[in-house]
Amino acid sequence: MRYLILFLGLLVFASPVSAVDPSEMLSNSLMETRAREISKGLRCVVCQNQSIDDSDAALARDLRVLVRERLVAGDSDNEVVEYVVSRYGDFVLLKPPFKGATLVLWGGPVLFVLIAFFAGLGFYRRQRRGAPSKPAAVALSNTERARLNDLLDKDGS
Amino acid sequence: MNRRVFFLIPLVVFLILTGYFAVGLTKDPKRLPSMLEGKPVPDFDLKPIKGRDNKGFASTDLKGSVALVNIFGSWCVACRAEHPFLMDLKESGAVTIHGIDWREEDPDAGAAWLKKHGDPYALVGDDPKSRAAIAFGVTGAPETFLVDAKGVIRHKIVGPLDKKIWENTVKPMIERLRKVGAS
Amino acid sequence: MTAELGHFALILALFMSILQSTVPLVGAQRRHCSWIALAQPTAILQFLLVALAFGCLVHVYLISDFSVVNVVSNSHTDKPLIYKISGVWGNHEGSLLLWVLILSMFGAAVAVFGGNLPPTLKARVLAVQAMVAVGFYLFMLFTSNPFERIFPPPLNGQGLNPLLQDPGLAFHPPMLYLGYVGFSMAFSFAIAALIEGRVDAAWARWVRPWTLAAWCFLTAGIALGSWWAYYELGWGGWWFWDPVENASFMPWLAGTALLHSATVAEKRDTLKGWTVLLAIITFSLSLLGTFLVRSGVLTSVHAFATDPTRGVFILVLLIIVIGGSLALYAWRGPQLTSTGLFQPVSREGALLFNNLVMTTAAAAVLLGTLYPLLLDALGGGKVSVGAPFFNAVFIPLMIPMIVAMAIGPFLHWKRSDVTPALLRLRLAFGAALLTGLLAFIAHQDGPVLGAIALALGVWLALGAVTELASRIRLFQIPLGDALRRVTRLPRASWGMTLGHLGLAVSIIGMAGAGAWTVESIQVMKPGDRVMISGYEFTFDGAKDSTGPNYSVVAGNFTVRRNGEHVTNLAAEKRIYAVSKQPTTEAAIHTTLAGDLYAVIGDPEGANGAYVTRLYFNPLVVWMWIGTLIMVFGGAISLTDRRHRVGAPKRSRADAAVQGA
């Protein structure tokens, strides 16, 4: 059964009737918007990869209500998030914070871009320096090349 | 630089990744580290559950002696499995157990469940809206917290507490805490 | 008996693939013609044996043979026929069987249709293909046998997860697998090329159709999955950057890069080592995707802790296949030298740029997907990497690529100049800028990204159309001549135009649905009205009824616009009899401007009131129209004459072997 649930994993969203219920919603629409935004960034700890805003798990619902109560009590958005983090850790943040443990995570893509950039640069440099440095190990024979050019020309692109 | 080196890079990256994988597979992801171990219990003041007593359960009740705080619910299957052991524990008198009855939809269900299966708890608080559960960082029932005499959380057990965990982890910790508290 | 027959066929298939993976390989090395020739019959036989095994599994599902564990845990007598069949691959063991079935099917296809391949290359390709198969057979037979019996058999099965009982999801896995496994062809060709020590234009031309076919299937599979999520999960979401989605998206990114680099390798005899590496990476990501989803290592490493044999087996298999091929690459790769030179601003340059961005994106997605696991392995604690991370990383990477995508096709091979291309694109640029500005003004409260994405979509779409127009010299020569040129365009170039156009159209859909969705959640009594994006929804109350294996509550809505009747929507909530699990069936009315989307929730009070969620998802349908265009473009390209007539024969030496 476990594999079934994991299967094709979209199923981790397998909670069909979603989320926010009118009875939880705040009448102050500005505050409700803030609550929705906060909820979208908090992970439902009993679900796989779902925010509490999307989840219909009971605990997610209680967390949504808690978020709203704290907002009504005058907490700032940050204070609400910090409270939840103080209870469940960074794990509840769908957007991981910038810190030591996530240095590689956030730095990685930047590094990849740099690698790609320098790899491209290196490629063109190498080419300009008169590469191919060595003749192809198994080059096409002249007849092959002629036949190939012939075909490529025929395709006309 | 030797051209061959470039062709080695993918293999090296892959091997490093595999190493991490191999280590990662030995870990149990279900276990979330508790943010609260080593911190004082969060403030809470829960009403009694209907039909048991009228004492309720509050954070102030945890000062003075080592105790276990067990999160349970009548809807929770694993709690049912854990329950006989909690009863044994109560019989043995090894430690005080308090209960937080979490998310009962029917307010009478908690007391009825305790009446049927036995009541191992000294104090029980009703937590229908997960207030205390969230404050404790609970993700599922049952969870059990070991709290020392100063009211500081020392350990968290996720899932049913059983004889093995008790003998290997919890009991030695309690003995140590009592020793430190006495001296 | 059927189950034992299937089991036996599977064991025979294992032996067949062992034969196929060794004898032809040695034969190719030593030039033993009869050994080489063995590749063909073994490949076909292997396919027939797996097909037999698969047929047996389908059969035990159809007759609901509850003495087979797999049927018990995934089927039920009440289940409609189509879901009895789709239940076959709706589980770990069965889906692995589908995987090897497709793998051997591709192998058999090469054996049958690869007549113009040099025999040694063909033998090596089939041998590599069979090596992968051997790993899968062993995995299945030792850890995940779909034919395992249970005694005593229970009276009925546990049923299939109701969410899987959906036509969209019934065909999603086979599509994905055709894509994943299709990339095994590119992989096998790459490994064979490394063994032979040469990659040439002919090789690239053989690889391209297989890659293209796999890419089409994968694109369709991903689109099907997102469409399913959109209509089934009940809040109009269509992409979540969930690990399992990423598992299919990473091979797609790498495969898209491979398609483009193979073009360069074919036409310009350069980027060959890179193309081979991409082929290995693409299939590796497919394998990783299959296993990560299968094993649940991403969603919960716990799956491994409870079943370590599978975990260890998977890890060892990955190390052998991926590590082995990368080691071979490190050893033989340096021999693949290129001759074609080109400037950064050129067609090749643009394709290389595409490659760099796509691989960077794939690497970033891989990092984000695996990071929680890696950090945990290092003892660094628990983090979640959710959609906000991926959006923050992925979108900035895509923006320059989409800008470049419109320009690239205008560039000449070898060396080129951007200015003429930009001059030709001035109209597209103006239109994109205008669209973006208008969208920004119209939706000032919405995210700016929406306007940017819309502008990019328009830019790319018009860019693709402009390129087509300039190719046929529209308005430069008489219209009739231009139209005649349309019919004479190579199909492969149609593929490019449609591929780019399709992506542009998808981006427009994503921009609309991602940025400007309007949501309204409320309690409605029968007769209540709600206005949303100019549409008036009237709730007509909810009715109970029953389906084949579920009960339904259907909430009915009448939708009017400016007093005129638009449509009736019936949003369903189903409770399946076996699992008691509820599913939502959103009621969707699709228009080109946007979807009206209604979902019914729980009853509220006794007066027939229900919680209702109503959405207007602007332009969302274009997302799937776009993917259809992409897949169509790929299919058109596949019918290109060059692929049909096949690649040129290679050399006299090979021809001699073939003749012998």
Which of chain A's residues have a Cβ under 8 Å away from the Cβ of C381?
Answer: 89-90, 101
Quote the CA–CA distance of B39 and B37 in Å, as a whole number.
5
Which of chain C's residues have a Cβ under 8 Å away from the Cβ of A3?
Answer: 91-92, 294, 296, 303
pLDDT, tens digit, for every residue of C354-407?
999 999 999 999 999 988 888 877 777 788 898 999 999 999 999 999 999 999
Please, which pLDDT band fits residue C269 given cuts at 50, 70 and 90? Answer: confident
Per CATH, the number for C1-160 is: 1.20.120
Tell me if residue C537 falls in helix, strand or coil.
Answer: strand
pLDDT, tens digit, for every residue of C39-97?
999 999 999 999 999 999 999 999 988 988 888 888 888 888 888 888 888 888 888 99
Contact C326 B14 (CB under 8 A): yes
Which residue from C656, C644, C642, C646 is spatially nearest to C117, judged by alpha carbons? C646
What's the per-residue H, E or C state across C259-270? HHHHHHHHHHCC
Token pair, residue A23, equals 């009875």
Quote the CA–CA distance of B101 and B117 in Å, as a whole number.
14
Quote the CA–CA distance of C610 and B52 in Å, as a whole number.
36
Contact B103 A62 (CB under 8 A): yes
Enumerate the domain spans of chain B.
30-182
What pLDDT score was predicted for residue C295?
A: 61
Quote the CA–CA distance of B64 and B151 in Å, as a whole number.
8
Which of chain B's residues have a Cβ under 8 Å away from the Cβ of A62?
Answer: 103, 129-131, 133-134
For residue C306, pLDDT over 60 is answered with: no
Contact B11 C329 (CB under 8 A): yes
Mean pLDDT, range B148-167, rounded to an integer: 90
Sheet with C594-604, strands from edge to edge, namely C518-524, C609-618, C594-604, C587-590
What pLDDT score was predicted for residue C12?
A: 96
Which of chain C's residues have a Cβ under 8 Å away from the Cβ of B17?
Answer: 370
Of A135, A144, A155, the CB nearest to C651: A144
Contact C311 B25 (CB under 8 A): yes
Give pTM, 2 decimals.
0.89
Enumerate the domain spans of chain C.
1-160, 518-621
* Greatest Cα-to-Cα distance within chain A, rounded to the nearest angstrom: 83
Contact B24 C319 (CB under 8 A): no
Of A6, A49, A157, the CB nearest to C386: A49
C319 touches chain B (CB under 8 A): yes
Residue found by looking up tokens 């309007």 in the block? C518
What pLDDT score was predicted for residue A83?
A: 93
* Greatest Cα-to-Cα distance within chain C, rounded to the nearest angstrom: 85
Enumerate the domain spans of chain A.
14-92, 100-155
Contact B10 C373 (CB under 8 A): no
Cα C151–C157–C161 angle (5° rounding)? 135
Contact A46 B140 (CB under 8 A): yes
User: Within 10 A of A133 (CB to CB), how many other CB atoms are there?
Assistant: 9
Of C352, C613, C642, the CB nearest to A155: C642
Mean pLDDT, range A113-133, rounded to an integer: 83
- Determine whether domain A14-92 maps to CATH 1.10.8.640: yes
Q: What is the mean pLDDT of chain C?
A: 88
Quote the CA–CA distance of C192 and A41 in Å, as a whole number.
47
Of A14, A112, A138, the CB nearest to C364: A112
Q: What is the CA radius of gyration of chain C?
A: 27
Beta bridge partners of C525: none
Chain A positions touching chain B (beta carbons under 8 Å): 45-46, 58-59, 62-63, 65-66, 84-89, 91, 133
What pLDDT score was predicted for residue C238?
A: 86
What pLDDT score was predicted for residue A157?
A: 42
Mean pLDDT, range C424-447, rounded to an integer: 91
B140 touches chain A (CB under 8 A): yes
Mutate to test the interface with B, among C274, C301, C310, C383 (most CBs of B within 10 A): C301
A45 touches chain C (CB under 8 A): no
Q: How far is A83 from chain C (nearest CA, A)?
A: 17
Which of chain B's residues have a Cβ under 8 Å away from the Cβ of C370?
Answer: 17, 20
What pLDDT score was predicted for residue A89?
A: 87
Contact B25 C301 (CB under 8 A): yes
Pick the more confident residue, C461 or A128: C461
Type of residue at C277: L
Tell me if residue C419 falls in helix, strand or coil.
Answer: helix
Of B32, B42, B130, the CB nearest to A62: B130
Q: What is the mean pLDDT of chain B?
A: 87
Please, which pLDDT band fits residue A129 given cuts at 50, 70 and 90? Answer: confident
Please, which pLDDT band fits residue A11 given cuts at 50, 70 and 90? Answer: very low
Quote the CA–CA distance of C540 and C557 in Å, as a whole number.
5
3-state helix, strand, coil in chain C (%, to 5): 65, 10, 20
DSSP state of C157: -
Quote the CA–CA distance of C495 and C34 in Å, as a whole number.
40
Mean pLDDT, range A33-39, rounded to an integer: 92
What pLDDT score was predicted for residue C651?
A: 47
Q: How far is A147 from chain B (nearest CA, A)?
A: 31
Contact B28 C302 (CB under 8 A): yes
The residue of chain A nearest to residue C337, with distances taken between CA atoms, is A136
Tell me if residue B98 falls in helix, strand or coil.
Answer: strand
For residue C618, pLDDT over 70 is answered with: yes
What pLDDT score was predicted for residue C352?
A: 94
Say what percent of chain C tops pLDDT 90.
Answer: 54
Contact B18 C319 (CB under 8 A): yes
Mutate to test the interface with C, among B15, B21, B32 (most CBs of C within 10 A): B21
By the 10 Å C-beta count (0-12 exposed, 13-18 middle, 19+ buried), C565 is classed as exposed
Tell me if residue B143 falls in helix, strand or coil.
Answer: strand
pLDDT, tens digit, for every residue of A111-120?
999 999 999 9
For residue A135, pLDDT over 60 is answered with: no
Which of chain B's residues have a Cβ under 8 Å away from the Cβ of A45?
Answer: 32, 139
Class of B30-182 in CATH: alpha beta
